[in-house]
Amino acid sequence: MIAFDHVVKRYPNGREALAGVSFRIAAGEMVFLTGRSGAGKSTVLKLIALIERPTRGTVLVAGKNLGALPSRRIPAYRRSIGVVFQDHRLLMDRPVFDNVALPLIVAGSPLKETDKRVRAALDQVGLLGKERMLPLELSAGEQQRVGIARAVVSKPTLLICDEPTGNLDRDLAVEVMRLLKRFQNVGVTVVVATHDIHLVQEHESGQRTIVLDDGRIQGGAGEEPLPSIVASR
Amino acid sequence: MSIAVYGTRHAQAFLGSLGRLARSPFATFLTVLVIGLALALPLALQLLVTNASRATGGFTSAVDVSVYFKQNVALAEVQQRAANARAQPGVAEVTVISADDALKEFQKYSGFGAALQALEQNPLPNALRVRPAADAMSPSDLARLERYLAAWPEVDTVQVDSQWVERLNAILDVLKRVLLVAAVLLGAGVLAVVGNTVRLEIQNRRAEIEVVKLVGGSNAFVRRPFLYTGVIYGVTGALVAWGVMAIALGVLEGSVANLAKLYGSQYALAGPAAEEVLWLFAGGAVLGWLGAWISATRHLRRIEPRA
C-alpha cells in the first residue's frame, strides 16, 4: 500500500526532515508513527498526502509514485485518501453536514448519495442528529469525530491521521483510537502519527509502530513480517 | 459527473457567491457602485455620439450641390441637364430653379426687393439644386459629383459646401475614438476592481481553500465560486450603469427638448437602444468573469494545504 524507499526530504530553509527513510505499510494495516517533536512524523504524512514531494527517494502509495505524479492529478489522488488533523481543520461557519459532505461535493457526488453517505459517516462516529449544528457548538472530541467522518465519508482505502488525539483528554483520545481501529477492521489502511507513546502502548496490540528520530527510522520499518489483515471492504 | 449533478454544483456555487455578497452589503454596494460608474462612462460617451449623430443627421442629409448655368442657357436646356443629373448614381433629388423663381425668392428674403425692381433684366442665372443620396455624402462622393456637373459646358459655377460636413464628421470620429479609448481604459479599471476584490476574498477564505484542496478540490473547483462572484459584480455593475444613465437622461431630457424647441426642432434625447443595453450587460459579465479568473488563477495557485 505504502512504500518509502530511501526518502530524503529537505525543506527550502535547509532543514533535513527525513534522511533516507525506508519502510513499508501493507494494505489494511494500522501503523503508528511515533517519535519526538521534529522527528519527521508530520513530514511522512505530508509526503503521503502529497502536500510535499520528496527531495530524493521514492514514495509509492497504491502503486503510484507520488514524486512523479503530475500536479493536475493531485486532486484526484487526494480524493482517494482521508486525512485527519489535530486541529480538525473544520469550516467553522458551516454546519456539520456541510463539513462532512465536502469531499463528496468536491468529487461531484449526486445529492441523494451525498446525503446518504454523510448520514452514514456521522452515524459511524456517533454524531447522527447533530448534522445541523455548527462545529463551535460541539465539544473538542465531537469536532475531532466530525473531522474523522469527513475523512472517511468518501470511503478511502487509506486514512492518515496527524496527532488525532493531541487536543483531547484521555477518555476522548481512547474513544478516537477505538474509532480508527474500527475503520482498520473493515480494511482501511490507517497511519497515525502521534508523540503520545502511552496511547500507542495502550493500542499497539496487533499494530505496528514505526519510530522516527531526527529524520531516521529507529524501528518498526517493516523488516518483521507484515501482518496480513487485508480485508475486503 | 452527470449533467444534473454538474448543474446542481454550479447552482450551489452561484447561490453561495450570492449569499456571501449579501452578507457584506456595504462592501458589495461600494464595489458594485465603482464598477457601475466605470461602465456608465463609456455608455454615456456612446449615447453622446449617438445623439450627436442624430442631432446633426438632418444637416448632413441637407448637403446640396448648387449648379449655376451661364446667363445665355435656356431653361429647357437646364431641364434637360436636370434629367441627366437625376440619372446619375448617388443623386437623390434634383430641383430646377429658374432665374425668375430665384429672383422672386431673392426679392422676398433679401430685403432688397425695391432695389431689385429697378433692374432692367434679371441678373440671376438658371440653376439646379442637386441633393446627393444619404449613402453618397462622403467627401470623395461629393468631389466626384462636383467634377461631373462642372464638366457640362453650359455650367458657370458648381458650389459644394462640404467642408463643414467634413469637420462635423471629423468631430464625430474623434468622439468615437475617445469612446473606444475610454471603454478600454475603464474596462481595465473594472478588471482591476473585480480582480482586487476577489484577491481579498481569497485571502479571507484561505483556510477554507486549503481544506477544500486537501480533500481533493481542484483549482477549477475552488475557482468556480469566485468566477460567479466576478460575474455577479459585472452584471450588477451594468445594472447600476443603466440606472445612472436613465437618471441622467431624465434630468437632461427637458432641458434638451427646450433648447431644440428654440431652434424650431422636435429633437429629443435618445436613451440606449436594446442592443446597447445587451452589450452593456454582456460586457459587464465578461469583464467581471475575466477579472475574477485572472485574480483567482494567479492567487489560488499559491495556496496549498499545510499539514
Examine the domain organization and report whether B156 and B68 are in the same domain: yes
Alpha carbon of B304: minimum distance to chain A alpha carbons (Å):
7
Give the tens place of pLDDT for each residue, B43-52.
Answer: 998 888 888 8
Give the tens place of pLDDT for each residue, A186-196.
Answer: 889 999 998 87
What the block records as the C-alpha cell of A134 is 455548527
B307 occurs within a structural domain? no
What the block records as the C-alpha cell of A63 is 502503486
Examine the domain organization and report whether B73 and B215 are in the same domain: no
> Quick check: helix, strand or coil at residue A229?
coil
What backbone torsions phi and psi does residue A132 show, to the nearest 5 degrees? Answer: -90, -5
Tell the burial category of B154 from Cβ atoms under 10 Å away from its Cβ (0-12, 13-18, 19+): middle
Give the tens place of pLDDT for each residue, A40-80.
Answer: 999 999 999 999 999 999 999 988 999 899 988 999 999 99
Examine the domain organization and report whether B71 and B37 are in the same domain: no
> Does residue A228 surpass a pLDDT of 80?
no
* Interval A132-137 mean pLDDT: 94
Q: How many CA atoms lie within 13 A of B61 on its CB side?
A: 11
Last residue of a domain, one of B128, B160, B192: B160
Q: Which residue has the cell 511522512?
A: A44
Binary contact (B216, A107; C-beta < 8 A): yes
Q: Among A132, A218, A129, A202, which Cα is nearest to A165's?
A: A202
Q: Which domain holds residue B230?
A: 3-59+166-300
Q: Among A62, A63, A65, A41, which Cα is nearest to A53's?
A: A65
Specify the higher pLDDT residue, B220 or B54: B220
Examine the domain organization and report whether B81 and B106 are in the same domain: yes
Per-residue confidence (pLDDT) for residue A224, from 0 to 100: 47
What is the rounded CA–CA span in Å between residue B45 and residue B180? 9
- Residues on chain B touching A148 (C-beta within 8 angstroms): none
> Does residue A81 surpass a pLDDT of 90?
yes
Binary contact (B218, A85; C-beta < 8 A): no
What the block records as the C-alpha cell of A93 is 461557519
Per-residue confidence (pLDDT) for residue A79, from 0 to 100: 92
What backbone torsions phi and psi does residue A229 show, to the nearest 5 degrees? Answer: -115, 30
Lowest mean pLDDT across A79-88, B113-122, B215-224: B113-122
Cβ atoms of A227 and A182 within 8 Å: the answer is: no
Alpha carbon of A229: minimum distance to chain B alpha carbons (Å):
26
Examine the domain organization and report whether B287 and B199 are in the same domain: yes
How many structural domains comprise chain B? 2
Binary contact (B213, A102; C-beta < 8 A): no
Partner residue facing A108 (CB), from B9, B207, B210: B9
Hey, how many other C-beta atoms are within 10 angstroms of the C-beta on B118? 7
Per-residue confidence (pLDDT) for residue A225, from 0 to 100: 40
> Does residue B81 surpass a pLDDT of 70?
yes
Interface of A with B (CB under 8 A): 42, 45-46, 49, 51, 72, 75-80, 83, 85, 89-91, 102-103, 105-111, 150, 162
What the block records as the C-alpha cell of B28 is 458589495
- Residues on chain A touching B306 (C-beta within 8 angstroms): 51
- Residues on chain B touching A105 (C-beta within 8 angstroms): 9, 12
> Quick check: helix, strand or coil at residue A169?
coil
Examine the domain organization and report whether B19 and B105 are in the same domain: no
Examine the domain organization and report whether B114 and B22 are in the same domain: no
B86 occurs within a structural domain? yes
Cβ atoms of B213 and B303 within 8 Å: the answer is: yes
Binary contact (B5, A46; C-beta < 8 A): no
Last residue of a domain, one of B143, B160, B177: B160
Per-residue confidence (pLDDT) for residue A173, from 0 to 100: 81
Cβ atoms of A33 and A213 within 8 Å: the answer is: no
Per-residue confidence (pLDDT) for residue B280, from 0 to 100: 94
Examine the domain organization and report whether B44 and B112 are in the same domain: no
ipTM: 0.84
> Does residue B18 surpass a pLDDT of 70?
yes
Alpha carbon of B197: minimum distance to chain A alpha carbons (Å):
21
B81 occurs within a structural domain? yes
Examine the domain organization and report whether B186 and B48 are in the same domain: yes
Cβ atoms of B213 and B306 within 8 Å: the answer is: no
Binary contact (B215, A78; C-beta < 8 A): yes
Q: Give the CATH number of the domain where residue B154 resides.
A: 3.30.70.3040
Examine the domain organization and report whether B180 and B148 are in the same domain: no
What the block records as the C-alpha cell of A98 is 456541510
The alpha helices in chain A, defined as continuous H runs, are 41-48, 74-79, 96-107, 111-124, 140-152, 170-185, 197-203
Last residue of a domain, one of B160, B189, B214: B160
Per-residue confidence (pLDDT) for residue B287, from 0 to 100: 96
B244 occurs within a structural domain? yes
Q: How many CA atoms lie within 13 A of B221 on its CB side?
A: 23
What is the rounded CA–CA span in Å between residue A59 and residue A44? 10
Say how far residue B119 (Cα) sits from the centre of its chain. 53
Q: Which residues of B160-194 are buried (b: 16+ CB within 10 A; e: fewer)?
A: bebeebeeebeebeebeeebeebbeebbebbbebb
What the block records as the C-alpha cell of A123 is 452515524
> Does residue A118 surpass a pLDDT of 80?
yes
Binary contact (A91, B208; C-beta < 8 A): yes
Binary contact (A45, B307; C-beta < 8 A): yes
Measured CA to CA in angstroms, residue B86 lies from B83, B90, B91 at distances of: 5, 9, 6
What is the rounded CA–CA span in Å between residue A113 and residue A105? 10
Alpha carbon of B220: minimum distance to chain A alpha carbons (Å):
10
Specify the higher pLDDT residue, A15 or B59: A15
Examine the domain organization and report whether B40 and B134 are in the same domain: no
> Does residue A153 surpass a pLDDT of 60?
yes
* Interval A168-180 mean pLDDT: 81
Q: Among A34, A36, A38, which Cα is nearest to A16's?
A: A38
* Interval A203-207 mean pLDDT: 68
Give the tens place of pLDDT for each residue, B248-281.
Answer: 999 998 898 888 888 777 788 888 999 999 999 9
Give the tens place of pLDDT for each residue, A16-48.
Answer: 999 999 999 999 999 999 988 888 999 999 999
Per-residue confidence (pLDDT) for residue A233, from 0 to 100: 24
Q: Among B231, B229, B228, which Cα is nearest to B239's?
A: B231
What the block records as the C-alpha cell of B299 is 492567487
Per-residue confidence (pLDDT) for residue B69, from 0 to 100: 94
Give the tens place of pLDDT for each residue, B140-195.
Answer: 888 889 999 999 999 999 988 766 777 777 888 898 899 899 999 999 999 999 99
Helix (H), strand (E), coil (C) string for chain B? CCHHHHHHHHHHHHHHHHHHHHHCHHHHHHHHHHHHHHHHHHHHHHHHHHHHHHHHHHHHCCCCEEEEECCCCCHHHHHHHHHHHHCCCCEEEEEEECHHHHHHHHHHHHCCHHHHHCCCCCCCCCEEEEEECHHHCCHHHHHHHHHHHHCCCCEEEEEECCHHHHHHHHHHHHHHHHHHHHHHHHHHHHHHHHHHHHHHHHHHCHHHHHHHHHCCCCHHHHHHHHHHHHHHHHHHHHHHHHHHHHHHHHHHHHHHHHHHHHCCCCCCCCCCCHHHHHHHHHHHHHHHHHHHHHHHHHHHCCCCCCC
* C-alpha dihedral sign at A116, A121, A122, A124: positive
Binary contact (B215, A91; C-beta < 8 A): no
- Residues on chain B touching A42 (C-beta within 8 angstroms): 307
In the structure, what pLDDT confidence band is assigned to residue B235 with cuts at 50, 70 and 90? very high
Residue of B nearest to A71 (CA): B218
What backbone torsions phi and psi does residue A131 show, to the nearest 5 degrees? Answer: -65, -25
Binary contact (B304, A51; C-beta < 8 A): yes
Examine the domain organization and report whether B206 and B181 are in the same domain: yes
What is the rounded CA–CA span in Å between residue B46 and residue B41? 9
B222 occurs within a structural domain? yes
> Quick check: helix, strand or coil at residue A103?
helix
B49 occurs within a structural domain? yes
- Residues on chain A touching B217 (C-beta within 8 angstroms): 75, 106
**Which one of A33, A94, A105 would you mutate to disrupt binding with B, by most B Cβ within 10 Å of its Cβ?**
A105
Per-residue confidence (pLDDT) for residue A151, from 0 to 100: 92
Alpha carbon of B217: minimum distance to chain A alpha carbons (Å):
5
Binary contact (B211, A91; C-beta < 8 A): yes
> Does residue A4 surpass a pLDDT of 90?
yes
Binary contact (B307, A103; C-beta < 8 A): no
Residues A4, A162, A118, A92, Cα dihedral to 10°: -140
B211 occurs within a structural domain? yes
Residue of B nearest to A45 (CA): B307
- Residues on chain A touching B304 (C-beta within 8 angstroms): 51
